[in-house]
């Protein structure tokens, strides 16, 4: 069966520091991968998606970036965090061509 992992689970970072969140999927090949951010009372916002290694599409302009160095690894990064980057970050995957997305456990980021 497929599983999706995210780490760290919780992160507290000062403003201006760099960020790296990691997501890996097991038990499937060539998945579509997604990064979402969840802010309190605002639902989920799609940040990036990827259909293959090195292929990244951005949904919203921001100071975050994403990379996919391996087939089942998706990384969310920032060079300098802002206060507004605080939130709950969720990674998700789907089978190529299928409709359903499956979510990881999330990373809670607090920028102080």
42 vs 83, which CB is nearer to another protein? 42
> What's the N-to-C CA distance of the chain in angstroms?
38
Spell out, one character per residue from 51 to 70, where the chain touches another protein: x when CB under 8 A holds, - when not: x-------x-----------
Among 25, 101, 21, 10, CA closest to 64:
21
Cα-based distances in Å from 2 to 68, 81, 100, 103, 111: 18, 32, 13, 11, 32
43 binds another protein (CB under 8 A): yes
29 vs 99, which CB is nearer to another protein? 99
SS (H, E, C) 83-109: HHHCEEEEEEEECCCCCCCEECCCEEE
# binding residues, another protein (CB under 8 A): 23
Beta carbons of 72 and 24 less than 8 angstroms apart: yes
Which residues in the 67-96 window bind another protein by CB under 8 A?
Answer: 90, 92, 94
**Contact with another protein (CB under 8 A): which of 14, 41, 61, 69?**
41
Q: Which of these segments, 14-22, 62-70, 73-81, 104-112, binds another protein (CB under 8 A)?
A: 104-112
Which positions touch another protein (CB under 8 A)? Answer: 6, 32, 34, 41-44, 46, 49, 51, 59, 90, 92, 94, 99-106, 108
């Amino acid at each position: 069966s497929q599983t999706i992992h995210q780490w760290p689970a919780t992160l507290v970072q000062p403003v201006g520091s760099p960020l790296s969140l990691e997501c890996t999927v097991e038990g499937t090949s060539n998945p579509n991968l997604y990064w979402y951010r969840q802010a309190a009372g605002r639902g989920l916002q799609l940040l990036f998606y990827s259909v293959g290694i090195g292929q990244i599409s951005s949904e919203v302009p921001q100071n975050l970036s994403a990379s996919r160095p391996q087939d089942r690894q998706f990384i969310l990064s920032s060079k300098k965090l802002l206060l507004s980057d605080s939130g709950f970050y969720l990674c998700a995957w789907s089978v190529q061509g299928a409709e359903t997305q499956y979510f990881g456990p999330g990373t809670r980021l607090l920028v102080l």
